[in-house]
Structure 1
Amino acid sequence: MKRFIVFFIILSCISFNTITPTYATTLFKEGVYKLSDLNVPEGEFYSAVNLSKENEVLLQIYDEKQVLLQFLKMPPGTKKVNLVALKPTYRIVILGNGQISIT
């Protein structure tokens, strides 16, 4: 009985750690992000905010053929900016030392 309880507790801890959805990650720093890795539903509209109070950030959205769909130059403390409808095949490129929140 003790083995079953210990096994159940360990299994529960492992399963709760692996169930965390990747789309919950909405803070992004400099880099290239593939939206299929973030489980973005197709056709949803999002907005972006530059959370940095000191650094400017450049945000670029590319489609599957590497065609630039949207380019944003976001000064420090930018309010919400609407993004194009995102698809899982799109890529987001972020340049700069700021941090962007996508909601």
Structure 2
Amino acid sequence: MKRFSVLFLIFLSLTFTIIGLKPVFSISTTNIYKQGIYTLSDFNTAKDGVYSVSNVSATENMSIIITDKEQNILQSIRLKTNSEKHNTIPIDPNDTIILLGKGAVYINPVELTE
């Protein structure tokens, strides 16, 4: 039985490499952020400084607050569980992004078309 299990796992991993599928546990979560204080250098840079944000948590709400270098609030977004994508205002390199809540937020650069 032990030999069968080992052979099964080897063939399963070979199948993934041949077909080009990625197992769920190997998908990168580099754009998912938890509660904390971030700067623009922590994210993938956007050409126009605009990012799409969505709450990927199924049970917890999240809040995003964007402040300038004098801590004036520029934008505040409340994200409900499994929210749709919302675009931020253009963020400058000196701005601070504050994430509040126990969930996780997916932040991805947006390319604006004119």
TM-score, normalization: structure 2?
A: 0.63
| Distance in 2 separating the partners of 1:58 and 1:76 | 11
Give structure 1 stretches of 5+ with no counterpart.
1-23
Q: Which has the larger radius of gyration?
A: 2
1:71 alignment counterpart: 76
SS of alignment partner, residue 71 of structure 1: strand
Identity %: 31
| Aligned amino acid, residue 55 of structure 2 | N
Larger mean Cα displacement after TM superposition, 32-41 or 65-74: 32-41
1:83 alignment counterpart: 88
| Aligned amino acid, residue 50 of structure 2 | F
| Distance in 2 separating the partners of 1:88 and 1:25 | 20
8 Å Cα contact 1:30/1:98 also seen in 2: yes
CA offset digits 1:6-48 (Å, max 9, x no partner): xxxxxxxxxxxxxxxxxx9321100001213446356321110
1:101 alignment counterpart: 106
| Distance in 2 separating the partners of 1:76 and 1:45 | 22
Residue 57 of structure 2: which of 52, 55, 69 is its match? 52
Residue-pair matches, total: 80
Give structure 2 stretches of 5+ with no counterpart.
1-28, 109-114
Structure 1 residues 36 and 27, CA gap change in structure 2 (3 angstroms): same
CA offset digits 1:34-71 (Å, max 9, x no partner): 21344635632111010001100011001111110110
Superposed CA RMSD: 1.8
| Aligned amino acid, residue 64 of structure 1 | K
Structure 1 residues 45 and 54, CA gap change in structure 2 (3 angstroms): same
